[in-house]
């Protein structure tokens, strides 16, 4: 059978994730130090796991409301108000989803008509471009260049706006760079959204992981923005809950309702045990992640110092748990750098280009890895750079 003719054209033509392809090379190798996958190295804090275990013991194994447990939505509203300073009604403005991944997907599908343009900043999370395409939108990337510490300039966003623009998508701190948007630029982006009557998607998944005493501002909290913003957040990063697949979207009720229609048909609801775990996580609040945050900050200091010292210029990121060093001085492409480093030293980093064309010449290293392994990986990387300079990996 000619399967190519059976598969939907827009899916057939979609490239596979560059990260996945790279990790096929790592799977099954126990000798590799991975600075690759973007997830915490510690399991979910025990009280959160315990809450889920108890719920299963009690036989709480049913569906929940499509919207998510009301008790969880009430707790989300309290948390979001406390952390982001935006007030959402748990009944009409919050939807519990299967990770931020599902929330972003149904948000795009609920708003995009074929051909609508979505502006986002690159380098960015690998799913943004394909998710926009799968919703029949047109991805419009705008560079968040290293020259501006990986922040995006409102002026560059403005240049990309056309009559077809519907959404501006933001993610600060950013995966894969750890970049943060200065407040003045965020305010200018808000003014653009208001002037051109655009919707803003703000992916806040790393917003608890900020360093150097920074305080986070979500664009949703700026004057006039709540009514045109969808705030996406979840539990994967701060609460070390990647495997639970739990997230949420906060949005004006007509947008929440549109997203809910897709969610109820394709997902029904997020798993009840994950929702109960999420409820416990929010009750614990910052006490569940503050120790990890402090530990990530120390690891960031180490990795940034070591990378710069070995001649790979590396921006000191204000948040998330990634660094995005410039490897151009090695003369290798990002992909060759990552493959040769893996083959010769068993250290895994991710090549930059899957995060956007501007990522060529860079690699992403996730430092949510045990401190002693970061030290070891840096020693090995230093050896590798010396060997490259001596012509060994040409």
Q: Which residues bind ligand PMP (CB under 6 A)?
A: 38, 99-101, 125, 171, 175, 203, 205, 234, 236, 242, 247
Q: How far is the CB of 181 from ligand PMP (least distance, A)?
A: 14
In terms of C-beta density within 10 A (0-12 exposed, 13-18 middle, 19 or more buried), how is residue 163 classed?
exposed
Integer Cα distance of 63 and 197 in angstroms: 38
28: tokens are 């099954």
Closer to ligand PMP by CB, 137 or 340: give it: 137
DSSP characters for 33-48?
Answer: EE--S-S-SSPPPHHH
Q: How far is the CB of 211 from ligand PMP (least distance, A)?
A: 17
359: tokens are 């990522």
DSSP characters for 214-263?
Answer: -----GGGSTT-GGGEEEEEESTTTTT-GGG--EEEE--HHHHHHHHHHH
Q: How far is the CB of 242 from ligand PMP (least distance, A)?
A: 5
Q: How far is the CB of 245 from ligand PMP (least distance, A)?
A: 7
Integer Cα distance of 97 and 236 in angstroms: 12
In terms of C-beta density within 10 A (0-12 exposed, 13-18 middle, 19 or more buried), how is residue 191 classed?
middle
DSSP characters for 167-197?
Answer: EEEE-SSPTTT-----HHHHHHHHHHHHHTT
Q: How far is the CB of 367 from ligand PMP (least distance, A)?
A: 14
Best CA proximity match to 106, nearest among 240, 269, 215: 269
Confirm if 178 and 143 have CB atoms less than 8 A apart: no
Closer to ligand PMP by CB, 165 or 177: give it: 177
Closer to ligand PMP by CB, 100 or 225: give it: 100
Question: CA 393 from chain center: how many Å?
Answer: 33
Closer to ligand PMP by CB, 314 or 350: give it: 350
Closer to ligand PMP by CB, 99 or 325: give it: 99
Rg of the chain in Å (alpha carbons) = 21
Q: How far is the CB of 175 from ligand PMP (least distance, A)?
A: 4
Closer to ligand PMP by CB, 178 or 361: give it: 178
Question: In the complex, which residue's CB is closest to ligand PMP?
Answer: 99
Q: How far is the CB of 205 from ligand PMP (least distance, A)?
A: 5
Closer to ligand PMP by CB, 234 or 352: give it: 234
Best CA proximity match to 367, nearest among 331, 329, 316: 316
CA angle 255, 14, 365 (to 5 degrees): 85
Confirm if 300 and 317 have CB atoms less than 8 A apart: yes
Q: How far is the CB of 129 from ligand PMP (least distance, A)?
A: 13
The DSSP bridge partners found for residue 250 are 94, 231
Q: At what angle do helices 371-389 and 334-345 cross, to 10 degrees?
A: 110
The DSSP bridge partners found for residue 33 are 347
- What are phi and psi for residue 63, nearest 5 degrees? -65, 160
Closer to ligand PMP by CB, 221 or 274: give it: 274
Residues belonging to the chain: 394
Closer to ligand PMP by CB, 37 or 339: give it: 37
Q: How far is the CB of 232 from ligand PMP (least distance, A)?
A: 7
Q: How far is the CB of 125 from ligand PMP (least distance, A)?
A: 4
């Amino acid at each position: 059978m000619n399967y190519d003719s059976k598969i939907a054209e827009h899916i057939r033509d979609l490239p596979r994730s560059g990260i996945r392809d790279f990790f096929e090379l790592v799977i099954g190798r126990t000798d590799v130090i991975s600075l690759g996958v973007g997830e915490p190295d510690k399991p979910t804090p025990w009280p959160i796991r315990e809450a889920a275990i108890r719920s299963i013991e009690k036989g709480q194994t049913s569906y929940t409301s499509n919207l998510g447990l009301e008790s969880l939505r009430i707790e989300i509203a309290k948390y979001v108000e406390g952390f982001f300073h935006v007030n959402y009604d748990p009944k009409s403005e919050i939807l519990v989803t299967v990770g931020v991944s599902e929330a972003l997907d149904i948000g795009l599908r609920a708003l995009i008509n074929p051909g609508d343009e979505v502006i986002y900043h690159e380098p960015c999370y690998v799913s943004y471009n394909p998710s926009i395409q799968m919703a029949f939108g047109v991805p419009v990337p705008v560079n968040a260049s290293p020259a501006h510490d990986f922040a995006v300039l409102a002026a560059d966003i403005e240049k990309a706006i056309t009559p077809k623009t519907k959404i501006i998508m933001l993610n600060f701190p950013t995966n894969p760079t750890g970049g943060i948007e200065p407040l003045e630029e965020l305010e200018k982006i808000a003014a653009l959204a208001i002037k051109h009557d655009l919707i803003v998607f703000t992916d806040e998944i790393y917003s608890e992981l900020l360093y150097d005493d920074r305080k986070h501002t979500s664009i949703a909290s700026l004057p006039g923005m709540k009514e045109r913003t969808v705030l996406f957040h979840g539990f994967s990063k701060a609460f070390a809950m990647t495997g639970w697949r739990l997230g949420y979207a906060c949005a004006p009720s007509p947008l929440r309702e549109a997203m809910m229609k897709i969610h109820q048909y394709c997902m029904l609801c997020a798993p009840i045990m994950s929702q109960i775990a999420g409820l416990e996580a929010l009750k614990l609040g910052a006490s569940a992640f503050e120790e990890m945050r402090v530990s990530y900050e120390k690891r960031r200091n180490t990795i940034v110092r070591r990378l710069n010292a070995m001649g790979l210029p590396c921006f000191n990121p204000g948040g998330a748990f990634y660094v995005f060093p410039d490897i151009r001085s090695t003369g290798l492409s990002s992909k060759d750098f990552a493959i040769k480093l893996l083959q010769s030293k068993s250290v895994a980093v991710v090549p930059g280009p899957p995060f956007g064309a501007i990522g060529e010449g860079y690699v992403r290293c996730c430092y949510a890895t045990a401190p002693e392994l970061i030290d070891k990986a840096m020693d090995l990387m230093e050896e590798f750079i010396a060997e490259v300079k001596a012509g060994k990996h040409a």
